[in-house]
């Protein structure tokens, strides 16, 4: 048996995390000393902890991980969970790529601003905006055709 600190060192998981996982019922000490309260783990628990860490790394919630490790999810259910996770991650990547394209378009506009025709748009008591127009294909997500941004208040 290993004290929690030794198990922590071997598994490279902080003691605080092991205690939290115990609270959630993910991994329990093999023995808790009644007098000192020291938690003891066994080397045989490392594969379970590694499975918990692997599922966490894949983005599963601790609740989902608990179902997998405690309820013995079938291989088919695990495969389904992984396919769903794969679809979620793919959607997030596409969303991030779209956002990156918009950021790049704004940066390109800022870089071209000094070279393009621009003028100020304002009315009494309103913010002054700088309007810059650029050419390009409006269907191209990397092309920003017009942008207004505050410059000063009149």
Q: Cα-flanking dihedrals φ and ψ of residue 94, to 5°?
A: -65, -40
Tell me: pLDDT of 141 over 50: yes
What confidence tens digit (pLDDT) does each residue in 68-116 have? 999 888 889 989 999 999 999 999 999 999 999 999 999 888 888 756 5
Query: pTM score, two decimals?
Result: 0.63
Cα dihedral value 52, 10, 28, 38, nearest 10: -160
Give the count of beta carbons closer than 10 Å to the beta carbon of residue 6.
13
Domains of the chain: 2-71 (1.10.1660.10), 93-153 (no CATH)
What confidence tens digit (pLDDT) does each residue in 11-35 have? 999 999 999 999 999 999 999 999 9
């Amino acid at each position: 048996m290993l004290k929690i600190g030794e198990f922590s060192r071997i598994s490279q998981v902080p003691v605080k995390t092991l205690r939290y996982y115990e609270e959630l019922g993910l991994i329990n000490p093999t023995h808790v000393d009644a007098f000192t309260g020291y938690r003891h783990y066994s080397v045989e628990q490392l594969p379970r902890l590694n499975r918990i860490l692997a599922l966490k790394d894949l983005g599963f919630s601790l609740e989902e991980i608990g179902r997998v490790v405690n309820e013995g999810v079938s291989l088919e259910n695990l495969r389904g969970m992984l396919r769903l996770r794969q679809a979620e991650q793919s959607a997030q990547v596409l969303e991030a790529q779209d956002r990156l394209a918009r950021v790049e378009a704004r940066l390109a506009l800022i870089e071209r601003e000094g070279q393009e025709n621009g003028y100020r748009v304002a009315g009494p008591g309103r913010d002054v905006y700088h309007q810059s127009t650029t050419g390009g294909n409006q269907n191209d997500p990397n092309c920003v055709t017009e942008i207004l941004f505050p410059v000063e208040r009149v």
